Amino acid sequence: MILKFSQNFSVYFSPRRLFHLIRAWSFYCLGVSFLHSQQDSEQTRSTVVTVISDSIIVDGVLDESIWQTAPKIGELIQRQPNPGTTPSERTEVILLRDADFLYVGIVAYDSEPDKLIGNDMSRDASLQNEDSIEILLDTFKDRQNAFYFATNPIGAFVDGLVFGAQEINTDWNAIWDIRTQKTNTGWSAEFQIPFKSLSFPENSSEWGFNIGRKVYRKLEEDMWSGGRLENEFLKVSEAGTLLDMTDLNQGIGLDVKPFLASSWLRTKNPDGGALDIEPGVDVFYNITPSLKLTGTINTDFGETEVDARQINLTRFSLFFPEKRSFFLEDVGVFNFASTGPKGPGGTPDAGVDVFPFFSRRIGLLNGNEVPLDAGLKLTGKVGNTDVGLLGVRTGETDFVDGKNFVVGRFKQKIFQESYVGGIFTDGNPNQGRSGSTYGADVRLATSDFFGQKKNFNFDAFFLNANNEIEADSDADGTGKSFGFSARYPNDQWDGMLVFREVGKHFDPGMGFVQRSNVRMYRAAASYNPRPKDFLNIQQMFHDIYYTYYERLDNGEKETAELHITPFDWHFNSGDSIHALADYTYLYERLFEPFEISPGIFLPVGEYKTHRSRFVIATAARRPLSGFLFFEYGDFWSGTSEQLNLRLSYNLPPHFTAQISVNKTFADLPQGKFIARIFTGTFNYALSPQITFSNLLQFDNRSRNLGWQSRLRWTPKPGNDLFISFNQGWINEPGSLRFNVSDSKVATKFQYTYRF
């Protein structure tokens, strides 16, 4: 049954009232951020790393004598389910170093070693639902950014960069080594992290450090420092300290990575296939231990995975993440406060994120690849300032001339977890277009809100784009974008207030904008108790959010959305009922016709809809697990049902598979349509160094069935061989017949020389 909703709701939550509430609350909390918790309020944990002279064989077995005699860093502390208590399973951590490497040895005892969960050994596997060890290295001790390394009992290589509001990008890859070993008392892990793979200050002896362990069958998380429910492991400000980190060797700080890439493409063109062989080189040079220069010549991205298919049933652009390695180096430097914040619980994005710099605009144009002739990037720290400077030259094609792109970014650290920054971009990928964007942002964050050990963040930004469009002189924000947000992200209570404005002609040439000519107000709150001994529940979530959008050119309401989640239970078994009676009221006004599906146009007018959903998921620790999403109710001028079904199967330690179906059945007065996406992934890992992945995707909008098969072999950290095969088929309308489309085989071999 679908609940009906009063049409007068927006009277009580008018945008002006919401704006005044946001402004008053945000500026009040802004003052609080300056007054509270900018200095350590309690002694953080610290340890001294044992200096060694003997060599260590990285095999996952801590059998060298130094592992037995070196001091341990101290016991971990439970973050959940019982914060601050002794973990249910003991973990011993030992830190060693010589001039070239940091060694981390872990003995993870387990009273039931036959129940260890380690399913995926592929590079950068998701370890969310597995036993794991995680490491944070805040080498600059700036409490905002960190290097991330992790593994599971079967030795997966997972690394990434942590930045911003506990964001992580695991598409970044470093040169390092890890080995694990299962034992009759649990498992052990041996990390070897070269100092040449890290950036760090030249004259500082202290690093931020944290280590965490997950015992997934118990939904238990243990941490060395900051073990509280309010602090997720990625919260860098809660890390402890490594002392006496001096006399570290980066050599001359030069990595040279030559590569040879080849591709063979066969199309329907009667001329047949085209073979292309190109050499290239990537160069990494540490000008100082904290400032890196990265260069690339004749760049090839043959190792990059294909994007996940999406069918757009909205009026706004879809976002696809960056996966190319050159652009992922020090990605956190270019992060800007105009995105997010992510809402509590299941709150979706507001759809008005603004990216002044979005690297996928370089080298890709309207789905076509544009060659990158050369690129140069300077990233790192100068004192307490993060700096980033990027320059790229793209090649000439038959659809666009060669172009230059420039990006400059800085972040000046203030207080403990905060910064002020600026950004500048110059360039536009479109043929015959040019433009520039500049702006400033500020982030104020605290982990001791009103002295209560609670988190609070405040972000604000301003951007101006000059992109061959005359900016209007009136006060409607044309050519500009600005906004601010306040977030209270804590375990039991979570909430946010957001205001954002995107001008009608705001178009950052090197950026990405989801929707323009709009002013957005959003308020969201979540109450998430953890009941004791009640139906085996780990945590309950109750969410409500309201979002209001008005057009800038006429001041009229364009969109309003109220969403309520009264029932979201997560059980100690790992199963969850995310929704049984979620309710959404949505108001949309079209100011021009909208083609929602080929040949189906929605007319100008107002649309008021009411929808409900239920969502359940079984524990991912089981060999076979599932996820079911079903939403139904009004849809624009008619009705629709949306089904998302996902089945996953794990046969550890080598094989994982997942099949998902996403369907939308729409019945509108203007016509009926069905939107379908089928996805299948089938991965086999011979070892963490040799992995095979297969991705099958089909959507009935493009009628394209695509298959990518990909081999990655890493004979030695830093050296990789990639072989990928891509095949497409086009479905004939009204039949089950598929005709062969393009075929492509690509290879890339890269070798790293470290000096």
Cα separation values, 606 from 10, 492, 557, 603, Å:
15, 38, 10, 9
The DSSP-derived string for 530-566 is --SSSTTEEEEEEEEEEEEEEETTT--EEEEEEEEEE
pLDDT of residue 549: 96
Condensed to tens digits (0 to 9), the pLDDT of residues 667-689 reads 999 999 999 999 999 999 999 99
pLDDT of residue 2: 38
pLDDT of residue 23: 53
Condensed to tens digits (0 to 9), the pLDDT of residues 654-669 reads 999 999 999 999 999 9
Q: Could you tell me which residues come within 8 angstroms of residue 123 by beta carbon, excluding any fewer than 6 positions away?
A: 156, 157, 158, 173, 688, 691, 712, 714
pLDDT of residue 278: 86
Contact 379, 387 (CB under 8 A): yes
Q: Please state the rounded mean pLDDT for residues 76-97.
A: 95
Q: Please state the rounded mean pLDDT for residues 500-507.
A: 92
- DSSP 8-state symbol, 366: T
Contact 607, 637 (CB under 8 A): yes
pLDDT band of 172, cuts 50, 70, 90: confident
Q: Is the pLDDT of residue 20 over 70?
A: no
CA 478, chain centre distance (Å)? 30
Q: Please state the rounded mean pLDDT for residues 108-127.
A: 94
Q: Is the pLDDT of residue 416 over 80?
A: yes
Among 163, 206, 198, 230, CA closest to 44: 206
pLDDT of residue 41: 41
Instruction: Find the Cα–Cα–Cα–Cα dihedral 230, 232, 238, 244, rounded to 10°.
Output: 160
pLDDT band of 339, cuts 50, 70, 90: confident
E strands, 427-556, in order? 436-446, 456-466, 480-489, 493-502, 512-513, 518-527, 537-551
pLDDT of residue 4: 40
User: CA 476, CA 36: separation in Å to the nearest integer?
Assistant: 36
Q: Please state the rounded mean pLDDT for residues 105-130.
A: 94
Q: Is the pLDDT of residue 3 over 50?
A: no
SS3 586: strand
Least confident range from 330-344, 461-475, 595-609, 613-627: namely 461-475
Instruction: Find the Cα–Cα–Cα–Cα dihedral 592, 593, 596, 602, rounded to 10°.
Output: 120
pLDDT band of 318, cuts 50, 70, 90: confident
Q: Is the pLDDT of residue 55 over 80?
A: yes
Q: In 3-state terms, the chain is what percent helix, strand and coil (to 5)?
A: 5, 50, 40
pLDDT of residue 17: 54
pLDDT of residue 678: 96
pLDDT band of 273, cuts 50, 70, 90: low
Token look-up 């049954």 returns 1
CB atoms under 10 Å from CB of 202, counted, come to 10
pLDDT of residue 1: 36
Q: Could you tell me which residues come within 8 angstroms of residue 666 by beta carbon, excluding any fewer than 6 positions away?
A: 596, 597, 635, 636, 638, 639, 640, 672, 673, 674, 675
SS3 682: strand
Higher local confidence (pLDDT), 301 or 730: 730
pLDDT of residue 10: 39
Q: Is the pLDDT of residue 36 over 60?
A: no
Q: Is the pLDDT of residue 586 over 50?
A: yes
SS3 575: coil
Higher local confidence (pLDDT), 55 or 626: 626
pLDDT of residue 327: 85
Condensed to tens digits (0 to 9), the pLDDT of residues 56-75 reads 999 999 999 999 999 999 99
pLDDT of residue 271: 61
Q: Please state the rounded mean pLDDT for residues 228-240.
A: 92
pLDDT band of 330, cuts 50, 70, 90: confident
Q: pLDDT exceeding 90 applies to what percent of the chain?
A: 69
Among 308, 305, 195, CA closest to 255: 195
pLDDT of residue 426: 94
Mean pLDDT of the residues in the chain: 88
pLDDT band of 88, cuts 50, 70, 90: very high
pLDDT of residue 7: 40
pLDDT band of 325, cuts 50, 70, 90: confident
CATH of the domain spanning 36-243, picked from 3.40.50.150, 1.10.357.10, 2.60.40.1190, 3.40.50.11890: 2.60.40.1190
Domain-wise residue ranges, the chain: 36-243
Token look-up 């009906």 returns 4
pLDDT of residue 632: 96
Q: Please state the rounded mean pLDDT for residues 568-582.
A: 92
pLDDT of residue 476: 42
pLDDT band of 275, cuts 50, 70, 90: confident
Q: Could you tell me which residues come within 8 angstroms of residue 135 by beta carbon, excluding any fewer than 6 positions away?
A: 104, 148, 149, 150, 191, 209, 210, 211
Q: Please state the rounded mean pLDDT for residues 86-109.
A: 96
Partners of 177 in the beta sheet?
192
pLDDT band of 31, cuts 50, 70, 90: low
pLDDT of residue 371: 86
Q: Is the pLDDT of residue 301 over 80?
A: no
Q: Please state the rounded mean pLDDT for residues 474-497.
A: 83
Q: Is the pLDDT of residue 25 over 90?
A: no
Q: Please state the rounded mean pLDDT for residues 126-139.
A: 95
SS3 81: coil
Least confident range from 41-45, 310-314, 571-575: namely 41-45
> For residue 534, what are its two tokens?
């009640």
Contact 440, 408 (CB under 8 A): no
- DSSP 8-state symbol, 673: E
> Is 63 buried (19+), middle (13-18) or exposed (0-12) by CB count in 10 A?
exposed
Least confident range from 278-282, 484-488, 585-589: namely 278-282
